């Protein structure tokens, strides 16, 4: 039975990846950071019914010694580095924490692999945010980067360090440049979940408006369940490499709203308000990925459409709030 080690297992992707790998017969070790809220920390794993099937271990991406110790002890064949301060808006409020975890944390993980387990295969969760002020449309593996936030700058550092450790030390280190992916387990602060939770509240009479920031921003949105399969596929290749993972379709925040309200049988225009306080100091206006290389080399394709994604998220939020 192969062993996989996941940082960020309590997050959206960590939960879906754990479920996916368990289905493939892996022994899954998930690193969690110490929290005063340990009774609720496994909420996403519980939602997917895998909490009692994974082994949770104590560590922190900012503590290199904990990472080395964990790799020495568990000797995983595959290491998935998903942990990060992942909310772009917060990265302007906490640029140093973001740099420390989302940027330097990657180097801690790479160093731990290099020192303790250089034969392990390594996955780094890179991001379409690195394209930022886009230099070409659509964006592919060869499009130049132009980060627009402390988060994106930190991710770019982690990305290049992953490439560098592959080239310098021969690590099997791959970087997945993933475009936005969502699910019912998306954090409530991200726009899609803010919308589907808002729609569900309006539908149930718990709220009468939905307040948003820049509704013109466009994103290439897929489903997290599809995207974790791409992470795994990257680590099954003989050679490590970098891949864009996206759907090849872009839609505005407003369009995602329209689909979500429609899924609940409501007309969007009666409920949307905008608040300039929610605008970002520098915005990423348009993301559209070209997943051609992933299709060609990995045989990967997204399955869930944007309409299905919005409907699934609204249904899940209605279910949660009706309890």
Strands 210-212 and 272-274, sheet pairing: parallel
Binder of ligand NDP out of 156, 178, 212, 231 (CB under 6 A): 178
Comparing CB distances to ligand GDR, the nearer of 86 and 183 is 86
Q: Outline where the chain has alpha helix (H).
A: 12-23, 43-47, 64-74, 90-93, 95-98, 105-116, 150-169, 191-203, 224-235, 253-263, 292-293, 306-322
206-210: long-range pairs with CB below 8 Å, 24+: 206/321, 208/271, 209/271, 209/272, 209/273, 210/257, 210/271, 210/272, 210/273
151 has catalytic annotation: yes
Comparing CB distances to ligand NDP, the nearer of 31 and 264 is 31
Find which of ligand GDR, ligand NDP, none residue 12 binds, CB within 5 to 8 Å per kind. ligand NDP
Q: Outline where 102-252 has alpha helix (H).
A: 105-116, 150-169, 191-203, 224-235
129 has catalytic annotation: yes
Answer yes or no: are the C-beta atoms of 224 and 186 closer than 8 Å: yes
127 has catalytic annotation: yes
Which one is catalytic: 126, 127, 183, 260?
A: 127
Binder of ligand GDR out of 191, 230, 272, 316 (CB under 6 A): 191
Binder of ligand GDR out of 28, 217, 294, 313 (CB under 6 A): 217
Binder of ligand NDP out of 20, 60, 225, 246 (CB under 6 A): 60
Site for ligand NDP in 86-145 (CB under 6 A): 86, 101, 125, 127
Residues annotated as catalytic (active site), given as ranges? 127, 129, 151
Binding site for ligand GDR (CB under 6 A): 86, 88-89, 127-129, 179-180, 189-191, 194, 212-215, 217, 219, 253, 278, 280, 283-284
């Amino acid at each position: 039975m192969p062993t996989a080690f996941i940082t960020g297992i309590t997050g959206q992707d960590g939960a879906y990846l754990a479920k996916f790998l368990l289905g493939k017969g892996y022994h899954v070790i998930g690193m969690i950071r110490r929290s005063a809220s340990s009774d609720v920390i496994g909420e996403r794993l519980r939602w997917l019914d895998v909490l009692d099937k994974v082994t949770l271990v104590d560590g922190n991406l900012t503590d290199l010694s904990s990472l080395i110790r964990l790799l020495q002890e568990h000797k995983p064949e595959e290491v998935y580095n998903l942990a990060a301060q992942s909310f772009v808006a917060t990265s302007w409020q906490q640029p140093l924490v973001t740099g420390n975890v989302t940027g330097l944390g990657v180097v801690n993980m790479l160093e731990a692999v290099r020192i303790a387990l250089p034969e392990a295969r390594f996955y780094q969760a890179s991001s379409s945010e690195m394209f930022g002020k886009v230099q070409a449309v659509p964006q592919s593996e060869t499009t130049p980067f132009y980060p627009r936030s402390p988060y994106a700058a930190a991710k770019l550092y982690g990305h290049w360090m992953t490439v560098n450790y592959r080239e310098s030390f021969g690590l099997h280190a791959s970087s997945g440049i993933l475009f936005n992916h969502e699910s019912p387990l998306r954090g409530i602060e991200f726009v899609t979940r803010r919308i589907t939770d808002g729609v569900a509240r309006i539908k149930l009479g718990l709220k009468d408006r939905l307040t948003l920031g820049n509704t013109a921003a466009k994103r290439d949105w897929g489903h997290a369940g599809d995207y974790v399969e791409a992470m795994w596929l990257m680590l099954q290749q003989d050679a490590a490499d970098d891949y864009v993972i996206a759907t090849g379709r872009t839609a505005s925040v407003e369009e995602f709203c329209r689909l979500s309200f429609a899924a609940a049988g409501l007309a969007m225009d009666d409920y949307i308000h905008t608040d300039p306080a929610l605008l970002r100091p520098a915005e990423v206006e348009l993301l559209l990925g070209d997943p051609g290389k992933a299709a060609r080399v990995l045989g990967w394709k997204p399955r869930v459409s944007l309409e299905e994604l919005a409907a699934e998220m609204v249904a899940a939020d209605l279910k949660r709030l009706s309890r």
